[in-house]
Amino acid sequence: MTRRINKAVFPVAGLGTRTLPATKALAKEMLTLVDRPVIQHAVEEALSAGITELIFVTAESKQIIRDHFRPNRKLEQELARRGKQELLERVKNIPPPGVACHDVIQQEPLGLGHAVLCARALVGDEPFAVLLPDDLVHHPETTCLQQMMEVYRDRNSSVVAVENVAREQVSRYGIVETAAAPDGAKRMKSIVEKPVPEDAPSTLAVVGRYIFTPSIMPLLETTPRGAGNEIQLTDAIAALLGKEDVYLCEFQGRRYDCGSILGYMKANVEYALRHETIGSEFGTYLDDLVSKLRD
C-alpha cells in the first residue's frame, strides 16, 4: 500500500539569469504564460495530481509569488462590487479552497538539493513531489505528475520524469542510465549531473518533476557540494539508488523550457493556440501572419 502524496515542493528561489532583463525585478516564475503566471501552471499540474499542500522554497526578494497565492481581499471586494462574478471566482480560487500554501526562505543560493532540503520541516516524514516551474509539460488529458503518480502507486518508490534529448544538450540536465525492471518498467541504474556529451551514459534527461520517498531528505542533509559548487539533487538521488529503487517515467506530453526566452516564447504561442477563449482567433491570426511572411 503506497502512502498518499499530499505535498509538493516548488523551488522558486532562482535568479532567472537566462531571462534577463525581463526578470531583473520580476520573479521569473511570475512571467505570464498567456493569462496566468508560469508558476500557476505548475501549481495547477500539482493540484491535478491530488496535491493539497503547496510548499514554495523562495527568496526574500520574491514576495510576489507568495502574494499571488494569498487572498487579495481588496481586489475581491472591488470585483464583487462591479458584479464581475466570473473573474472573482477565478481570483478567489488561487489556490482552490482546501489547498494550503506554505513558504520557506532559501537563505543562500546553494543549489536545487539545498532548496529541497529547506522544505524538510514542512514536508516531514512523508513522500512528496517536487516541481520545477521552469519546465512545463502539456498533455491534453493526463498531466505529467498524474502519469508519475501512477508509476509511484505501482512501484511504491521514488519516480523521476525523463525525456530523450539531443546528445549536444545533455550538459544542461541530469542524465540517467536505465536498468530493465519487471513488466517493461524502467528503473534508474545511475544518474550524473550535466555530463559532457562524450561522458553521458545516455541521452535520457531528467526534467523538473520528481516524486520522492522520505529517504531523500536525510541523504540531502549529507550531500556534499557537487557540480557548480552547489548541493545537487542529482547527487542525493545517486545516493538514494544505494538504498532504494528509483523508477523512471517517460511521460507523454510536450515539454517547454520556460526558463529560457526561446522556450518561453514557444510555450506562449502554443498555450495561446490551445486557450479556450482566444485559441481559435489567435490561430487565424498566426495563419495570416505566416502566409504574409511567406509572400
Which residues form the interface with ligand G1P (CB under 6 A)? Answer: 112, 132, 135, 173-174, 193, 205-208, 233-234
Question: Which residues partner with 7 through β-bridges?
Answer: 53, 128
Q: Shortest Cβ distance from residue 67 to ligand G1P (Å)?
A: 24
Q: Shortest Cβ distance from residue 46 to ligand G1P (Å)?
A: 16
Q: Shortest Cβ distance from residue 11 to ligand G1P (Å)?
A: 8
Q: Shortest Cβ distance from residue 84 to ligand G1P (Å)?
A: 37
Q: Shortest Cβ distance from residue 107 to ligand G1P (Å)?
A: 18
Angle between helices 144-155 and 38-48 (to 10 degrees): 40
SS3 letters for 71-133? CCHHHHHHHHHCCCHHHHHHHHCCCCCCCEEEEEECCCCCCHHHHHHHCHHHHCCCCEEEECC
Which C-beta is closer to ligand G1P: that of 127 or that of 174?
A: 174
Which C-beta is closer to ligand G1P: that of 95 or that of 259?
A: 259
**Helix, strand or coil, per DSSP, at residue 50:** coil
Burial 120-132 (b: 16+ CB within 10 A, else e): bebbeeebbbbbb
Q: Shortest Cβ distance from residue 137 to ligand G1P (Å)?
A: 11
Which C-beta is closer to ligand G1P: that of 221 or that of 281?
A: 221
Which C-beta is closer to ligand G1P: that of 94 or that of 130?
A: 130
* Bond into 21 cis (ω within 30): yes
For residue 167, the one-letter residue type is R
Which C-beta is closer to ligand G1P: that of 71 or that of 228?
A: 228
Are 143 and 45 contacting, i.e. CB atoms less than 8 angstroms apart?
yes
Give dist(CA 202, CA 250) in Å, integer. Answer: 14
The closest residue (CB) to ligand G1P is: 174
Which C-beta is closer to ligand G1P: that of 43 or that of 160?
A: 160
Give dist(CA 14, CA 253) in Å, integer. Answer: 25
Are 122 and 55 contacting, i.e. CB atoms less than 8 angstroms apart?
yes
For residue 236, the one-letter residue type is A
Q: Shortest Cβ distance from residue 13 to ligand G1P (Å)?
A: 11
Q: Of how many residues is the chain composed? A: 295
Give dist(CA 121, CA 199) in Å, integer. Answer: 37
Which C-beta is closer to ligand G1P: that of 40 or that of 234?
A: 234
Which C-beta is closer to ligand G1P: that of 103 or that of 135?
A: 135
Q: Shortest Cβ distance from residue 258 to ligand G1P (Å)?
A: 10
